[in-house]
Amino acid sequence: MLKRGLTAFLAILFCHTRGLMALGAVDNSRCLMCHTAPTLGKAAKSQPPVLYVDPDKFASSAHGAMACIDCHVDLANQPLVHKRQAATVQCAGCHVMPGLSPDGVHSGVPVGKQPRCKDCHGTHYVRKKVEPGSPVNRSNVESTCAICHRDGPEIRPYLASVHARVQAGSRLPAAVCTDCHRAHDVAATEIIFACSRCHREEFQLYSASVHASGRSAGYTDAPTCTDCHGTHDIRSRKSTDSATYPVNVPDLCGECHGDPVLQQRYGLPSDTVITFRHSYHGVALEHGDTSVATCTSCHQAHDILAPENPLSTVNRKNLPDTCGKCHFGANENYAKGKVHVLARREDSLALYYTASGFKWLTIGTMAMLIGHIILDLWARVRNRICQRKRGEGA
């Protein structure tokens, strides 16, 4: 009788224990009896314990009010001493969101190596992104992304860029990885719209430009923001290393407008950069005068329009105003002359004959000078010969 009663008691106790575990075991102390052991799951002395949980840090985390099995659902019906390896936590059970974007850079990572929630947010001590200690706080995003991208071509150039600089009156960088690439659906496309989130005025100007029109028409050769400014290594236009620094602008524009194949494809003149370099502005710029006009001084930077467009700064009607920004008192005469010209018949007869005249004048002068030198040398040699013969005759 006593033996039967003891068996019944143990059976009831076992059922109640399993029931408590199945109902959620809201009191995490049962799990923490083991998981507060400093050596739990520690593979070597130099490694941190992988299964250790700090109760205080967990309680102050974003998930501090949750039960362990709210995340480790596969352990809900397991005995207190369970198998060593728990299943991968599925955060989507609470945080409903789409999967990796098919256009995203992370979607191309082999299955099994793609980043998971814990790689960016942490595990037991998840913090809200507004908290300074959160790995996804703006001040820590670069370090978090660098865990994987440290050896890639992105982090080091970014650290020297204008975006990595701390904003005035703030301890935060001007732009971090997730501002451009987003957070969960990390994308490598839609550059224009990514930049427009911060640079709205520039985006509006660019949207009306000839470059944006070409892009909208499907011409992928048409430049966008990063084609001119760079990607991760964007510098201030005041920096001599910047592609948009005045001295570097002709080279920047020349990457497209100096390419004969590309210009022929779109019916544009291929000598635009050459004619600029031969002009007064180009020569002065080549000698270090950064105050002279460059491509963007006349054509603008973001809102470049075709010359035949009445709103274009290089439209003939607008040239007096455009040139007047530097040449005070500019009038309609400025619109009469050609700008991008070489010493060719088809460009300017006056310039052609002037250049040709100086060329032949120089050639003629040098020919006469060389002839004079040759005749002088010949006279000297002949005199020496004559003097030697006279000496021998005496």
Q: Say how far apart CA 304 and CA 274 lie, in whole Å.
A: 20
Q: Say how far apart CA 121 and CA 80 lie, in whole Å.
A: 27
This prediction has a pTM of: 0.70
Q: What confidence score (pLDDT) does residue 188 get?
A: 55
End-to-end Cα distance, the chain: 163
The least confident of 66-70, 250-254, 361-365 is 66-70
pLDDT > 90? residue 209: yes
Q: What confidence score (pLDDT) does residue 5 get?
A: 46
Alpha helices, DSSP H only, in the chain? 2-22, 29-35, 55-59, 68-71, 117-121, 141-149, 155-159, 177-181, 191-196, 200-207, 210-216, 225-229, 249-257, 260-265, 272-278, 280-286, 295-299, 319-324, 349-393
Q: How far is CA 7 from CA 13, 14, 20, 186, in A?
A: 10, 11, 20, 59
What's the angle, vertex CA 102, arms to CA 96 and CA 104, rounded to 5? 90
Residue (of 108, 231, 109, 244) closest to 181 by Cα position: 231
Percent of the chain with pLDDT over 70: 85
Count CB atoms within 10 A of the CB of residue 224. 17
What type of residue sits at position 358?
Answer: F
- In this predicted model, what pLDDT tens digit does every residue of 82-122 receive, in sequence order? 766 778 888 888 887 655 555 566 766 777 777 888 889 99
Q: How far is CA 80 from the centre of its chain?
A: 51
pLDDT > 90? residue 255: yes
Please give the average per-residue pLDDT across 26-45, as a whole number.
77
Q: What confidence score (pLDDT) does residue 387 get?
A: 83
What is the SS3 assignment for 155?
A: helix
Q: What confidence score (pLDDT) does residue 213 get?
A: 92
Q: What confidence score (pLDDT) does residue 1 get?
A: 43
What type of residue sits at position 208?
Answer: A
Residue with tokens 């040449």: 327
Q: How far is CA 104 from CA 150, 187, 189, 205, 230, in A?
A: 19, 4, 8, 28, 20
Q: How far is CA 70 from the centre of its chain?
A: 40
- In this predicted model, what pLDDT tens digit does every residue of 148-184 receive, in sequence order? 888 878 888 888 898 888 766 677 778 888 888 888 7
Please give the average per-residue pLDDT across 60-69, as a whole number.
91
Rg of the Cα atoms in the chain: 38
Mean pLDDT of the chain: 83
Q: Say how far apart CA 206 and CA 212 lie, in whole Å.
A: 6
Q: Say how far apart CA 127 and CA 140 lie, in whole Å.
A: 12
- In this predicted model, what pLDDT tens digit does every residue of 318-364 receive, in sequence order? 999 999 999 888 888 877 777 888 777 777 788 788 888 999 999 99
Count CB atoms within 10 A of the CB of residue 307. 14
Q: Say how far apart CA 338 and CA 354 lie, in whole Å.
A: 16
Element (H, E) at 268: none
- Do the Cβ atoms of 161 and 126 come closer than 8 Å? no
Domain ranges (residues) in the chain: 19-87, 98-182, 348-388
Residue (of 221, 234, 311, 322) closest to 263 by Cα position: 221
Q: pLDDT class for 74, splitting at 50, 70, 90? A: confident
